[in-house]
Amino acid sequence: MLAAAVIGYLSTRLRIVPIVGFLLAGVAIGPHALGLVESQQAIDVAAEVGVILLLFTIGIEFSLSRLAAMWRLIVIGGGLQVVLTVGVATAALAVFGVSWQVGVFTGFLVSLSSTAIVLRLLASRGETQTETGRTALAYLIFQDLAIVVMVLLVPMLGGEGGTALDVAVALGTAIGIVAVVLVVARWIMPRLLEVVARACSPEVFLLTVIAICFGTAYLTSLAGVSVSLGAFLAGMVVSESRHSEHALGEILPLQILFSATFFVSVGMLLDLGFVVANLPLVLAAVGGVLVVKSIATAVSAAVLRVRPAVLAGLSLLIVQVGEFSFVLERVGRDAGLTPAGLGEDGAQAFIAATVLLMVATPWLGAAGRGLGGAIERRGRRPGAPTPDLAGGDGGGARGHVIISGYGAATRSLAGDLATAGVPLVIVTLNPDGAAEAESDGHEVLRGDSTRQHILDRAGLAQARMVVIPEDDPETAQRIVSVVRTAAPHAAIVVRVDEPVDLDDLAAAGADRLVDTHRAGHAALTEAVLRGLAGPRPGPTRVDVHSIVTWRPDPEAPCPHTEMIVPVLPSAPGCQECLLEGSTWVHLRLCLSCGHVGCCDSSPRRHASAHYRQEEHAIAASVEPGEDWAWCYLDETLLNRVDVPATRF
Q: Is residue 268 part of a domain?
A: no
- Strand (E) or helix (H) holding 514: strand 512-515
Same domain, 436 and 525: yes
288-344 per-position pLDDT tens digit:
999 999 999 999 999 988 888 888 889 999 999 987 788 788 888 888 899 988 888
Evaluate whether residue 560 is within a structural domain: yes
Query: Of the residues 350, 385, 413, which one is the last residue of a structural domain?
Result: 350
For the chain, what is the domain count? 3
> How many CA atoms, within 13 angstroms, populate the side-chain half-sphere of residue 201?
8
Instruction: Give pLDDT, residue 618.
Output: 94
Q: What is the pLDDT of residues 143-171, one digit of tens each?
A: 877 877 787 788 888 876 556 666 677 66
* Core vs surface per residue 327-339: b (16+ CB within 10 A) or e: bbbebbeebebbb
Which residue range(s) make up the domain with 476?
Answer: 401-533
- 515 and 558 housed in the same domain: no
The answer to whether 245 and 446 are in contact (CB under 8 A) is yes
575 and 525 inside one domain: no
Residue 536 is predicted with a pLDDT of 44
Query: 620 versus 396: which is more confidently predicted?
Result: 620
CB 25 within 8 A of CB 243: no
Which pLDDT does position 596 carry in this prediction? Answer: 94
For residue 54, what are the contacts with CB-CB under 8 A and spacing of at least 6? Answer: 116, 231, 255, 258, 259, 262, 323
pLDDT at 630 > cutoff 60: yes
Q: What is the dihedral of CA 638, 642, 645, 646, to 10 degrees?
A: -50
Q: Answer whether residue 302 is part of any domain.
A: yes
Residue 361 lies in a domain: no
Q: Is residue 479 part of a domain?
A: yes
Q: What is the domain-level CATH number for residue 409?
A: 3.40.50.720
State yes or no: pLDDT of 89 exceeds 80. Answer: yes
Judge if 342 and 405 occupy the same domain. Answer: no
Same domain, 345 and 419: no
175, burial (CB in 10 Å: exposed 0-12, middle 13-18, buried 19+)? exposed
Q: How far is Cα 523 from Cα 360, in angstroms, rounded to an integer?
A: 54
Residue 596: name the closest of 622, 566, 557 by CA: 622
Q: What is the CATH number of the domain that holds 569?
A: 3.30.40.10
Residue 631 pLDDT greater than 80, yes or no: yes
Q: Are residues 528 and 582 in the same domain?
A: no
Provide the residue type at 394 as one letter.
G
pLDDT for position 641: 79
Question: pLDDT per residue over 110-153, tens digit each?
Answer: 999 987 788 777 766 767 767 888 889 889 888 877 877 787 78
- pLDDT in the model for residue 393: 40
Do 427 and 564 share a domain, yes or no?
A: no
Q: What is the CA radius of gyration of the chain?
A: 30
